[in-house]
A and B are shown apart, each in its own frame.
Chain A
Amino acid sequence: MKHVLLAFLLAATPSVAFAQNAETENAENGKRIFENFGCAGCHGYEGQGSRDGARLNPAPSIEVMLLQLRQPRDLMPRYQESLISNRDAADLHAYLASFPPAPDPKTIRLLTEN
């Protein structure tokens, strides 16, 4: 079902192809959306996730992210294109992809000695 929905979404939104062009992605705009739209509230400022929102680090594929925006699972509200366009979604995805990777927990003393 998920794949059917994804196929439908991709087919119905030609701008996705444009959005996937890395050269046009604007991570700064993605940051603005992520923080101003309250995404960090559940997902954390570095996408670490929380009890209320999934971890977004490493970033999911843009297809999965778009599917979650348009047809969300769980409690996340549905973002229509008038709120987050496919272009903005691409920027948002670029921002998610910029999150620093988590360090190996074995290198963190507080996590290994406790």
Chain B
Amino acid sequence: MSKPPKIKRRQFLAGAAAAGPAIALAASGTRAVAQTSSVPPVPPDESQAPTTTEPIHGKAGSDFMVDVIKSLDIEYVASVAASTFRGLHESFLNYGQNTKPEFITALHEDVAVGIAHGYAKVAKKPMIAMVHGTVGLQHCAMSIYNAYADRVPIIILSGNIANSVTRMPNVEWNHSALDQNAMVRDFTKWDDQPASLQAFSDSMLRAYTLATTVPMAPVLITADADLQEDAIPDGMEARLSIPRLRARAQPMGDSGAVREAAKLLVEAEYPVIYCNRYGRTEKAPALLIELAELLNAAVVDPHMRMNFPNRHKFNHSMRRELALAAADVILALEPIELWGLTNTVADVDLRPNRAMRRNPNLKIIHIGSEALMMKSNYGDVQRFASVELSIPGDAEATMPSLIEAVRAELSPVRRASNEVRGLMLAEQSAGLMDAARREAAFAWDASPISSARLSMELWDQIKTDDWMMPTETQLMSDWPYRLWDITKPYQTMGGSGAQGVGYNTPAAIGAALANKPHGRLTIAIAGDGDFNMAPASAIWTAAHHQIPMLIIVRNNRAFHQEVMYVQNMAVRRNRDPANCFIGTTIREPNIDHAQIARGYGLYAEGPIENPNELGPAIRRALAVVRRGEPALLDVIAQPR
């Protein structure tokens, strides 16, 4: 007996919706004509509509999609449930048994992508963020932009109902588009909307390969809903194939140019290494230490990655301008703002361009992947800078050959003179820690609590743990970098990339997810503006999935950068600066973040205003985290 012909699920739904109440009266036993292609040529009429759909025997299209995704060894898919990918959702859970990838439930697409952003920076591989067609993709556009500007790989999956005939009236039309990928195309590395299962397979492999090849960035695949939901037509599965994911090398700088760079560095009187988005893997800091010690060169690190230990004798980040001003050669590794190394635009009337105080004989060597991917619309390109030697390629991948070339260039005489410079550099950096301690003592007992006090109350209780801090620190005056001992190659991961506010909490959750199997203690410090810009519901995901982490809301009750901006504008115009708090502060009522957190299922305390109460509160919260749960502290803090 032959199997009954299969009705396409979405085709049936379209017919059912068109038939309305009459559906119940439709002739029973009448079946639609089986379709062999994924897209029906004409809509079924109501006389063809069955009363029930036939169960799919064998594989659905989305089952095969899960096979493809499993071949990529992806651990997690963060997502907000939605109809345009319901086929894939079900396949992940039942066909894929909710492992590799495991479903991470988010309550907002911006959070799902933010989690994937933070996860990739720690795990050093991408996870999936799966977002609803149109509206979900719109929700997470900012987070995608952050990840793009941060050169972080994310596999974004979305759904769409391409065939207008199979869309139910009303909502499904709103959640479908001709080319939804267009809205984020300016800040994804590649996107596709494959029209068949084989095309999906090819595209996913291409997407993964592109996302994880420097320059890394998010990629987007929109999976057609019919393709997901329909059964794989008889005989087709045997013809489907999944390309094999193969090992890939990252782009290295040209060997001749690298030798030239080595000569310049070895001959320099005062070389400085400026490393921004340099550290791509956990091998990066050790390589940079090797180069810096070989050259006896100062290192300046703006902390966009874990690049270099903060207490290393050659780390001159806290005397950045002095180091850069003295340099006769700067080696800029993935620098982002190359022009800004020697110039600035003053934030004063008329915004004058100013050359910074630099050595007149300064030569700049640039090794970076910026030139390998650039798009026109957004300002991610930064201002053009002409440098003596530009070497396109991944800085970390180029580092071993650069070290080898430097070693080959170093004569015994040069090595000896460099060691003298090394002694001087060590002497210059020796006082930085004591100076920071002296600075930290100011406002030590103040309420609101100073950023230095907050940093040290926390450090005192985590310093013997295997800890990791996934959040930005510049808005708290970089105190952790000034006073902590940051040595391990995973202990920090830099910031958002595009300064899209709302990055820190979701990214920290993603980082904590990646830290969890290693047993690392994740401690996140997020400003209140940032915390509230991301949907606060992000923390529910941490509670739901038992992702251990301490979140400290550093609460200055304002979008404080904007307080300063409005004040600055008013004073420039000789108007009342006292109005700078209107529209910038987050008061009246004050937000009770602890109560919010408890509502989302976290242990929480706060608001904590007395600095003497902070240490005990951290101790209690860390006890919760150490037994595997998230906790939150709301700390009333000084503005910066």
Q: Do A and B come from one complex?
A: yes
> B residues 420-464 with Cβ under 8 Å of A?
437-446, 448, 450-453, 456-457, 459-460, 463
Question: In the assembly, what is the distance between CA of A45 and CA of B637, in Å?
Answer: 10
Q: Are B574 and A83 in contact (CB under 8 A)?
A: yes
The answer to whether B572 touches A38, judged by C-beta atoms less than 8 angstroms apart, is: no
Docked complex Cα distance between A111 and B576 (Å): 40
**Known pairs A38-B580, A75-B346; A48 contacts B460 (CB<8 A):** no
Across the two chains, which residue of chain A brings its CB closest to B558? A41
Identify B457's interface contact among A40, A50, A75, A110, CB under 8 A.
A110
User: Which residues of A in the span 19-34 have a Cβ within 8 Å of any Cβ on B?
Assistant: none
Given the interface pairs A57-B442, A75-B346, the reply to whether A111 lies near B567 with Cβ below 8 Å is: no
Q: How many of A's residues come within 8 Å of B, CB to CB? A: 36
CB closest residue in chain A, given B581: A38
Binds B, one of A3-11, A60-68, A89-97, A99-107: A99-107
With A and B bound together, what is the CA distance between A110 and B483 in angstroms? 10
Q: Chain A residues near B442 (CB, 8 Å)?
A: 44, 46-49, 55, 57, 102
A2 at the interface (CB under 8 A from B): no
- Complex contact A55–B439 (CB within 8 A): yes
B450: A residues at CB distance < 8 A: 44, 46, 48
CB pair B564 A41 closer than 8 Å: yes
- Number of interchain pairs (Cβ within 8 Å): 119
Of residues B439, B574, B581, B639, which shows the largest number of chain A Cβ atoms within 10 Å of its Cβ? B639
A83–B446 alpha-carbon span in the complex (Å): 28
Shortest B523–chain A CB gap in Å is 15
A37 touches B578 (CB 8 A): yes
**Taking the nearest CB of chain B, how far is it from the CB of A88, in angstroms?**
12
Taking a contact as CB atoms closer than 8 A, the residue among B437, B443, B640 that contacts A111 in the complex is B437
Residue in A52, A83, A110, A114 whose beta carbon sits within 8 Å of that of B577 in the complex: A83
Q: Say whether A59 faces chain B, with CB atoms less than 8 Å apart.
A: no
Contact B446–A48 (Cβ < 8 Å): yes
Task: Please indicate the chain A residues that have their CB under 8 angstroms from the CB of B560 in the complex.
Answer: 41
Are A42 and B574 within 8 A (Cβ)?
no
Instruction: Say yes or no for A108: interface residue by CB 8 A criterion.
Output: yes
Q: Which residues of A have CB within 8 Å of B453?
A: 110
Which residues of B477-504 are within 8 A (CB) of A? 477-478, 483-484
A41–chain B nearest beta-carbon distance, Å: 5
CB distance from B418 to the nearest CB of A (A): 32
Contact B564 A52 (CB under 8 A): yes
Q: B640 near A50 (CB under 8 angstroms)?
A: yes
**With contacts A44-B640, A108-B441 known, is A113 near B572, CB below 8 A?**
no
Asked whether A41 lies within 8 Å of B441 as measured between CB atoms, the reply is: no
Question: When the two chains form their complex, are residues B441 and A38 in contact, meaning their CB atoms are under 8 A apart?
Answer: no
Instruction: Check B564 against A42 for contact (C-beta < 8 Å).
Output: yes
B640 near A103: Cβ-Cβ < 8 Å? no
Contacts A38-B580, A102-B438, A114-B463 given; does A50 touch B568 at CB 8 Å:
no
| CA A87 to CA B640, docked complex, whole Å | 29
**Residues of A contacting B563 in the complex (Cβ-Cβ under 8 angstroms):** 38, 41
Which residue of B is nearest A33, CB measured? Answer: B578
Do B437 and A45 touch across chains, with their CB atoms under 8 A apart? no
CB distance from B63 to the nearest CB of A (A): 53
The B543-577 residues at the A interface (CB cut-off 8 A) are: 560, 563-564, 567-568, 571-572, 574, 576-577
B438–A46 CB distance below 8 A? no
B443 near A44: Cβ-Cβ < 8 Å? yes
CB A111 to nearest CB in B, in angstroms, measures 5
Q: How far is the CB of A24 from chain B (nearest CB, A)?
A: 23
Which of A37, A52, A114 is within 8 Å of B640, CB to CB? Answer: A52
Which residue of chain A is the closest to B448 with respect to CB atoms?
A45
Instruction: Please determine whether B440 and A36 come into contact, CB atoms closer than 8 angstroms.
Output: no
Q: Are B440 and A83 in contact (CB under 8 A)?
A: no
Q: Which of A45, A49, A77, A108 contacts B444 (CB 8 A)?
A: A108
Bound complex: CA A42 to CA B478 (Å): 14
Q: Does B638 contact A (CB under 8 A)?
A: yes
**Contact string against B for A residues 66-93, beta-carbon threshold 8 Å, 1 for contact and 0 otherwise:** 0000000001011110110000000000
**Given the contacts A37-B578, A110-B460, A114-B456, A51 and B441 also touching, CB distance less than 8 Å:** no
Contact of B350 with A by CB under 8 A: no
Of all chain A residues, the one with the shortest Cβ separation from B484 is: A114
Given A38-B567, A75-B346, A114-B483, verify A51-B459 contact (CB < 8 Å).
no
Check if B444 sits within 8 Å of A102, measured CB to CB: yes
**Residues A105 and B457 in contact in the complex (CB < 8 Å), given A36-B578, A44-B638:** no
In angstroms, Cα B578 to Cα A82, docked, is 14
Residue pair B567, A50 in contact (C-beta under 8 Å)? no
Contact pattern, B 509-551, Cβ under 8 Å of A = 1, otherwise 0:
0000000000000000000000000000000000000000000
In Å, the complex CA distance between A45 and B558 comes to: 15
- Is B238 part of the binding interface, using a Cβ–Cβ cutoff of 8 Å? no
Residue on A with the closest CB to B348? Answer: A75
Known: A48-B446, A50-B639, A111-B441. A78 touches B460 (CB 8 A): no
Per-residue 0/1 for B571-600: is the Cβ within 8 Å of any A Cβ (1 yes, 0 no)?
110101110110000000000000000000
Q: Which residue of B lies closest to A109 (CB)?
A: B460
Cβ B446 vs Cβ A46 within 8 A: yes
Task: Determine the distance from Cα of A105 to Cα of B444 in the docked complex, in whole angstroms.
Answer: 9
A100: B residues at CB distance < 8 A: 445
Complex alpha-carbon distance, A91 and B445, angstroms? 24
What residues of chain A lie closer than 8 Å to B483, measured between beta carbons? 111, 114
Inter-chain contact B477/A50, CB cutoff 8 Å: yes
The 9 A-B residue pairs with the shortest CB-CB distance in the complex, in nearest-first order: A50-B640, A48-B442, A77-B571, A48-B443, A38-B567, A46-B443, A102-B441, A110-B456, A51-B477
28 inter-chain pairs at a CB distance below 8 angstroms, sorted by A residue, are A36-B578, A37-B578, A38-B564, A38-B577, A38-B578, A38-B580, A41-B563, A41-B639, A42-B564, A44-B450, A44-B640, A45-B639, A46-B443, A48-B442, A48-B443, A48-B452, A48-B638, A50-B451, A52-B564, A57-B443, A75-B348, A77-B568, A83-B574, A110-B453, A111-B437, A114-B456, A114-B460, A114-B483
Given contacts A44-B450, A100-B445, A102-B443, 11 further A-B contacts (CB under 8 A): A38-B564, A44-B442, A47-B443, A48-B442, A49-B439, A50-B451, A50-B639, A55-B439, A75-B346, A110-B457, A113-B460
